[in-house]
Amino acid sequence: MNKKLKFIDLFAGIGGMRQGFEDDNTTCVFSSEWDKFSQKTYEANYGEIPYGDITEIKEKDIPEHDVLLAGFPCQPFSSIGKREGFMHETQGTLFFDVLRIIKYHRPKMFLLENVQGLLTHDSGNTMRVIVASLNELGYNVSYKVLDAQNFGLPQVRKRVIIVGFDNNLNITNFNIPEGQESNVPIGKFLEENPTGYSISKHLQSSYLFKKDDGRPQLIDKNSDIQVKTLVASYHKIQRLTGTFVKGGETGIRLLSQLECKRIMGFPDDFIIPVSRTQMYRQFGNSVAIPMIKEVANAMKIEFYASTKNNSHGRRTK
């Protein structure tokens, strides 16, 4: 392999995209994340504190890079039809910051991630503007909804993945890998009675089981299902969206820190230096690592094949 691919990690959170993209042939040259608790977790694991608010960072102050990674927040864009181009339409949103950095640095490729709702947001207008604005900057764009449960994880977690290649690479019709139905059971990922995660008997009777409607989702070591999406507000113990474990001092408990790491695909030794509330928030906001890794690997294969072909083409002149 020639020189390492340089990448930047925007809206980095705790570095989930980085976990999936980074390997021996890549190097992260810049990261940005405004949340101070996420910065703390990022620093504990990668040895660097991400820069803060991306809207205040000038594009020229970001190092040169080959790849841009971003799990950008989804915000509404201004109405269509102003004719100033899509860059203008996205002004004032965080996606605009992704665009201005891509426009200035012209990375060879990018990998963006967002919630599934992005596709239907503002009646599909938001996604239309995103793709059109990336096309306008000279990129071939593909996108697809992927589900973490098809990448070896015991969790239903659907996310939109957007991949772009510089038009000069001549990579058209990039096929984003969809994984395969693996139906990995959650039971294998559970710890043996971790302490300190119990839900009080009072909360169970007054709220969790106040109705006999089969909710919330309860699991144990024998469960062979895939759990619901781990959400950022998991610590609030919501009966409709939460998944809880049978066991512990009161008979029902929350997922442990180790279990959260595992169902997101993080390594067991990933360091969490923040409170439990922040820990749940951070994992709920992160990405399914094996899913990102598989997409990243496919991107790298395409990129290296393309640069090889292009260099052969030049030599035969």
CATH code, 100: 3.40.50.150
pLDDT band, residue 3 (cuts 50/70/90) = confident
Q: Give the pLDDT score at 14.
A: 97
Q: Give the SS3 label for residue 216.
A: coil
* Integer Cα distance of 286 and 14 in angstroms: 7
Is residue 107 located within the same domain as residue 91? Answer: yes
Beta carbons of 23 and 44 less than 8 angstroms apart: no
Alpha-carbon distance values, 270 to 43, 84, 182, 188, 231 (Å): 11, 45, 25, 19, 19
Is residue 46 located within the same domain as residue 168? Answer: yes
Is residue 126 located within the same domain as residue 21? Answer: yes
Q: Is 28 a catalytic residue?
A: no
Cα 67–chain centre separation: 15
Q: Give the pLDDT score at 88.
A: 59
Give the helix ranges, DSSP H, for 47-147. 86-89, 94-105, 125-136
- For 302, the domain range is 5-179+288-315
Out of 28, 67, 70, 74, pick the active-site residue. 74
Full 3-state SS string of 248-292 = CCCCEECCCHHHHHHHHCCCCCCCCCCCHHHHHHHHHCCCCHHHH
> Phi and psi for 146 in degrees, rounded to 5?
-115, 155
User: What single letter denotes the amino acid at residue 142?
Assistant: S
Is residue 159 located within the same domain as residue 208? Answer: no
Is residue 174 located within the same domain as residue 194? Answer: no
* Integer Cα distance of 35 and 38 in angstroms: 5
Is residue 51 located within the same domain as residue 171? Answer: yes
Is residue 60 located within the same domain as residue 203? Answer: no
Q: Give the pLDDT score at 2.
A: 61
Q: Give the pLDDT score at 181.
A: 87
Cα 149–chain centre separation: 14
Is residue 294 located within the same domain as residue 270? Answer: no
* Integer Cα distance of 91 and 99 in angstroms: 10
Beta carbons of 185 and 154 less than 8 angstroms apart: yes
Q: Give the pLDDT score at 80.
A: 46
pTM summary value: 0.91
pLDDT band, residue 158 (cuts 50/70/90) = very high
Beta carbons of 290 and 264 less than 8 angstroms apart: no
Is residue 56 located within the same domain as residue 150? Answer: yes
**pLDDT higher for 195 or 26?**
26
- 191 has pLDDT over 90: yes
- 314 has pLDDT over 50: no
- 178 has pLDDT over 80: yes
Is residue 129 located within the same domain as residue 113? Answer: yes
% of the chain exceeding 90 in pLDDT: 71
Is residue 241 located within the same domain as residue 270? Answer: yes
CATH code, 248: 3.90.120.10
Is residue 23 located within the same domain as residue 124? Answer: yes
- 211 has pLDDT over 80: yes
Q: How many domains does the chain have?
A: 2
Beta pairing class for 5-10 and 26-31: parallel
Give the helix ranges, DSSP H, for the chain. 16-21, 36-46, 86-89, 94-105, 125-136, 201-203, 257-264, 276-284, 289-315
In 23-45, which positions are buried (b, 16+ CB within 10 angstroms) versus exposed (e)? eeebebbbbbbebebbbbbbbeb
Contacts of 189 (CB under 8 A, 6+ apart): 154, 259, 262, 263
**pLDDT higher for 279 or 213?**
279
